Structure 1
Amino acid sequence: MGSNKGLVHRGSKSWWTGDVKTLCGLIIPGRDAKSPWLTSPACPQCEAVLEARKRK
């Protein structure tokens, strides 16, 4: 796992808490989560998981 500073992560937001769980395993509290307009620089771990899911 890496730091969420400076990287754009992919994940899903909890309906209940607003927290975001990223594909690389980070949990970002809802108050700190933002929806970026740009996707660069992307988290390499999140992108690897996304690519693996696409291949299935």
Structure 2
Amino acid sequence: MLFWVVAAILTLGASLAVLLPLTGGMKGASAPGDHDLEVYRDQLSELDRDVARGLI
């Protein structure tokens, strides 16, 4: 009997460890394209700096 209680507790703990992060979603995360826009703007500013230095 004790074995089944311990097995049930371990199973419940493992299930919660897997399911809780999945149900929480992405709280506080930015929109999917925000990071892409930031990288794109950084690349454009780097190109502008290279043009100003005469490298391009």
The alignment's TM-score, normalised by the length of structure 1, stands at 0.25
Higher share in strand? 1
The alignment's TM-score, normalised by the length of structure 2, stands at 0.25
Q: Greater Rg, structure 1 or structure 2?
A: 2
Bigger relative CO (Cα 8 Å, ≥ 6 apart): 1
Higher share in helix? 2
